Chain A
């Protein structure tokens, strides 16, 4: 995995609460055996009409192409455990999601794919919404090392600190491979297994 570097981008705004992973990537796209093409089908049922034409959904607006930050409502990513959801978000080109809260399984899946989840206090989130509604072209800077999301508004700099568990942060910052770390515990796992009760079947 690549190291997660500081970056800046304008944002895409989708301020709906409780967006579930069935919306992020509908189940009919889960029949793949690899990870390709998921970005194209991100939010497919909101993005394309039944006849396959583009709708006026935010992701389809020309100014929103290439943006790397999604700003969205409470409890983003609830529902199914499909990792296809972060794969689709990353496949589309997003690198950070900003919300007031995220669902548990989605959080694990996202961080493992180095998609940063930025959880803000409701008051901070409201300020972000207000900023975007007055200046949709605001540029945000995401700094994982400092755990800071910052932007300028009316020539004043705002900076919000966000929490992240230190293990996930280290994995993302250093581009660590979790599986490699788990494999390095081989001896501990073997010792643990030696103590397990065995049932003759």
Chain B
């Protein structure tokens, strides 16, 4: 279908995936979905819809569920079980369990060694594969694009449609090339790249588009770093973000529990190798960032595009002409109670959260641990691994001990303080430095004020109690 003859038009990675998944082309395209991930929050009404219509799940073998959003991260010491405070969360989780049972869907639930944040476990299990179309009722589904998949978030009506038909009506998105050149400097990480991109093009800079991250810098990043970048594509309005599959991708997937094995592996790899964008393919939009010029980034406002290099000054609304932009900046600074023109460095903070589908994988925890080693936290600090596997790997490597010795809380896996649905939250008016992906008003709890940053920057804030340039601390092998 898409083998590249010398005559055919060069295609992008996005176009190759799109073209191989078109089922019907009418007034709107019907696209086939290879992998559907579900969780407790955006699925109940979809299952209810199926039941009301007497429909089955078409491909339970392509549908996988986990529990992550409203799961407590503390164990009740009296019975060694998670301590649920909230009966609605319990009901929602029970409903997912019974729906999965009724419709024959694999659930990585409370007792599973594979439970975790949906965007952490998909790749970990080898479910996420190059060339796939992947959907989930969650906007950070873009994470899976790191494997060269077209992965995007959908609403609950669409969850129901995919459950019933394994298909969706879709409009073909446009191609947006993000060229990442150069080499990262000490103390600067993947999170800083994506924050810098969002700040550069704006929170709606990529509406209607899918990013393809390209260039020297992305080729030299690990899969976990690529996932951090793809994860936040949605924060610039992009429907998805992707990276061409390469040897780094294949090495990561090899031997994952649900990746192809034996002859099927060889066949898969040779197919995957045909997906990268052809020489000469045309992108609708393009931006280039020399990552060697980046500093650690931090947000100051109430959306992820309101980000600055850590030593820069907070912008002044008075310097903005557009009235809508001006008023959103004013509203953001007033919510954050931060004055324009100041530096954020040394701003006192109350809480640090290290976790979320952006930064809760082993390498994120390892980075943070380097900072915690031999130091004590100055503020309440939660470290929440992204999955049971990450937790186990970290504990096997003894990283949990570094956190505990520093006085940080080592919790059970889940979304936790990223969305504050499970009781883990920042108090009204308090400041947190968080490795998650959204600093919207109230995201970490009503009235909570969030600074988004990398695991290194968050850890630096945890041990100093204030916003700190990680490069000012003496850290081994940074």
Which chain A residues have a beta carbon within 8 Å of chain B's beta carbons? 15-18, 20, 22-23, 26-28, 30-35, 45, 50, 73-75, 78-83, 86, 101, 103-105, 108-109, 112-113, 165-167, 170, 178-179, 181-183, 185, 188-189, 192-193, 196-197, 199-201
From A35, A109, A170, A192, give the contact of B45 (CB < 8 A): A35
Q: Nearest residue in A to B236 (C-beta to C-beta)?
A: A78
Residue contact A182 to B442, C-beta cutoff 8 Å: no
Complex Cα gap A178–B160 (Å):
11
From B27, B88, B442, B447, give the contact of A22 (CB < 8 A): B442
Q: Count residues on chain B whose CB falls below 8 Å from chain A CBs.
A: 75
Complex Cα gap A179–B273 (Å):
35
Measured between beta carbons, the chain A residues less than 8 angstroms from B324 are 15-17, 73-74
From A23, A28, A75, A182, give the contact of B30 (CB < 8 A): A182
Measured between beta carbons, the chain A residues less than 8 angstroms from B327 are 15-17
Q: Nearest residue in B to A167 (C-beta to C-beta)?
A: B28
Complex Cα gap A26–B86 (Å):
16
Indicate whether A31 sits within 8 Å of B204 (C-beta atoms), given known contacts A50-B446, A75-B237.
no
Measured between beta carbons, the chain A residues less than 8 angstroms from B55 are 183
Which parts of B24-40 form the interface with A (CB within 8 Å)?
Answer: 24, 27-28, 30, 32, 34
Measured between beta carbons, the chain B residues less than 8 angstroms from A45 are 441-442, 446
Indicate whether A189 sits within 8 Å of B167 (C-beta atoms), given known contacts A108-B154, A201-B261.
yes
Measured between beta carbons, the chain A residues less than 8 angstroms from B44 are 32-34
Which chain B residues have a beta carbon within 8 Å of chain A's beta carbons? 23-24, 27-28, 30, 32, 34, 41-42, 44-45, 48-49, 53, 55, 58, 69-70, 86, 88-89, 91-92, 95, 137-139, 152-158, 160-161, 164-169, 171, 203-204, 207-208, 234, 237, 239, 258, 260-262, 264, 267-268, 271, 303, 324-325, 327-328, 331, 419-421, 428, 438, 440-443, 446-447
The 7 A-B pairs of least Cβ separation, nearest first, read A83-B155, A109-B155, A81-B153, A33-B44, A31-B88, A75-B204, A167-B28
From B45, B152, B203, B447, give the contact of A18 (CB < 8 A): B203
Q: Nearest residue in A to B173 (C-beta to C-beta)?
A: A104
Residue contact B92 to A31, C-beta cutoff 8 Å: yes
Indicate whether A83 sits within 8 Å of B328 (C-beta atoms), given known contacts A104-B207, A104-B208.
no
Residue contact A185 to B23, C-beta cutoff 8 Å: yes
From A18, A82, A167, give the contact of B27 (CB < 8 A): A167
Residue contact A182 to B169, C-beta cutoff 8 Å: yes
Complex Cα gap A15–B264 (Å):
55
A-B contacts at CB below 8 angstroms, number: 186
Return 10 A-B CB contacts under 8 Å, by A number.
A20-B303, A26-B442, A27-B420, A33-B91, A33-B95, A75-B237, A82-B155, A83-B155, A179-B49, A192-B32
Residue contact B92 to A182, C-beta cutoff 8 Å: no
Complex Cα gap A74–B44 (Å):
31
Residue contact B207 to A20, C-beta cutoff 8 Å: no
From B138, B165, B331, give the contact of A189 (CB < 8 A): B165
Residue contact A31 to B328, C-beta cutoff 8 Å: no
Residue contact B155 to A183, C-beta cutoff 8 Å: no
From B137, B166, B258, B442, give the contact of A201 (CB < 8 A): B258
Residue contact A182 to B95, C-beta cutoff 8 Å: no
Residue contact B165 to A28, C-beta cutoff 8 Å: no
Indicate whether A179 sits within 8 Å of B153 (C-beta atoms), given known contacts A31-B41, A50-B446, A199-B260.
no
Q: Give the Cβ gap from B418 to chain A, nearest Cβ, in Å.
A: 10
Residue contact B207 to A101, C-beta cutoff 8 Å: yes
Measured between beta carbons, the chain A residues less than 8 angstroms from B86 are 31
Q: Give the Cβ gap from B143 to chain A, nearest Cβ, in Å.
A: 13
Measured between beta carbons, the chain B residues less than 8 angstroms from A22 are 438, 440-443
Indicate whether A200 sits within 8 Å of B261 (C-beta atoms), given known contacts A81-B139, A104-B208, A185-B23.
yes
Measured between beta carbons, the chain B residues less than 8 angstroms from A35 are 45
From B41, B264, B447, give the contact of A199 (CB < 8 A): B264
Complex Cα gap A35–B331 (Å):
30
Residue contact B204 to A182, C-beta cutoff 8 Å: no
Besides the contacts A82-B155, A104-B207, A196-B34, what 13 more A-B pairs have beta carbons closer than 8 Å? A16-B324, A17-B328, A27-B420, A50-B446, A73-B328, A104-B208, A112-B158, A167-B28, A178-B157, A189-B166, A193-B166, A197-B271, A200-B260
